[in-house]
Chains A and B, each alone.
Chain A
Amino acid sequence: QKEVEQNSGPLSVPEGAIASLNCTYSDRGSQSFFWYRQYSGKSPELIMFIYSNGDKEDGRFTAQLNKASQYVSLLIRDSQPSDSATYLCAVPPSGTYKYIFGTGTRLKVLA
């Protein structure tokens, strides 16, 4: 089992729809979870992080965390073509100072 798993996609959604991106992780001791966006040829940029079970909203983005199910998701409301990118889930294993990244989900927002 991979430490952090994401569906590679591509996930295609029409403009204005909600895009739902999912991530599962294996380390039950992990305490924090990060979502990054990476445009082709660019470096990852932080979208948001979540520490507590439940939802955390930031503008059009909502992160959802369920530690019991070892599952974290990112919802993008009112998706725009400019949201087309690869979304990376990062999870630091407990007791470490490193991130383990999923392989990323490629999102395509169709105009």
Chain B
Amino acid sequence: KAGVTQTPRYLIKTRGQQVTLSCSPISGHRSVSWYQQTPGQGLQFLFEYFSETQRNKGNFPGRFSGRQFSNSRSEMNVSTLELGDSALYLCASSLGDGGGTDTQYFGPGTRLTVL
């Protein structure tokens, strides 16, 4: 089975621009979660989608948004980029029906650099 894929793997943007990141989950997985990882804050939860619905949202400003398509693929968007948005953005997929017992599998991540 193919793993979680994320595109692009690396991205360089300038302040004020917007960016869209994509995630394709493991086949059969219906839940996609997004995390931001920085050296200072560690892994921080952004949001989780299941069957095209956002079920959980982390404490990030409204500039961070996401969506999920009917084939479970997900995108996240960051508008009006700030220097502090430079991070590794990780997508994780899971079956989505196990509640807190669901196991999440991570993709390789997208490294975003904001200049």
Q: Which A residues form the contact surface with B (CB < 8 A)?
A: 30-32, 34, 36, 42-46, 49, 51, 88, 90, 92-104
Could you say which residues of chain A place their CB within 8 Å of the CB of B108?
42-43
**Size bracket, chain B contacts:** 20 to 34
Q: Which residues of B contact A36 (CB under 8 A)?
A: 106
Residue of B48, B105, B106 near A98 (CB, 8 A) is B48
Q: Which residues of A contact B88 (CB under 8 A)?
A: 43
SS of A interface (majority) = loop
Chain B 48-82 per-residue mask, 1 if CB under 8 angstroms from chain A, else 0: 10100001101000000000000000000000000
Are A31 and B101 interface neighbours, CB within 8 A? yes
Cβ 8 A contact of B90, one of A30, A43, A92, A93? A43
Nearest CB of B to A50, in Å: 11
* Interface positions of B (Cβ within 8 A of A): 31, 33, 35, 42-45, 48, 50, 55-56, 58, 88, 90, 92, 96, 99-109
Q: In the complex, which residues of chain B have a beta carbon less than 8 angstroms from the beta carbon of A46?
A: 103-105
CB contact between B107 and one of A43, A51, A93, A103 (< 8 Å): that residue: A43
CB pair B56–A98 under 8 Å, yes or no, is: yes
Given A43-B107, A45-B106, also A94-B43 (CB < 8 A)? no
A97 near B103 with CB under 8 A, answer: no
> Are the CB atoms of A97 and B42 closer together than 8 Å?
no
| Contact in complex: A44, B90 (CB < 8 Å) | yes
Q: A32-B100, A51-B101, A103-B42 are in contact. Are A97 and B106 (CB under 8 A)?
A: no
Q: Is the interface of B mostly helix, strand, loop or mixed?
A: strand
Extra inter-chain contacts (11) besides given A36-B106, A98-B45, CB under 8 Å: A32-B101, A43-B108, A44-B43, A46-B104, A46-B105, A51-B101, A97-B31, A97-B50, A97-B96, A99-B33, A99-B43
Residue from B44, B55, B90 in contact with A97 in the complex, judged by beta carbons closer than 8 Å? B55
Please, how many angstroms separate the alpha-carbon atoms of A96 and B98 in the complex?
Answer: 10
Q: Tell me if B106 and A43 are in contact (CB < 8 A).
A: yes
- Do residues B43 and A88 form an inter-chain contact, with CB atoms below 8 A? yes
Cα(A94)–Cα(B107), bound, Å: 25
Inter-chain contacts of A31 with B (CB < 8 A): 99-101
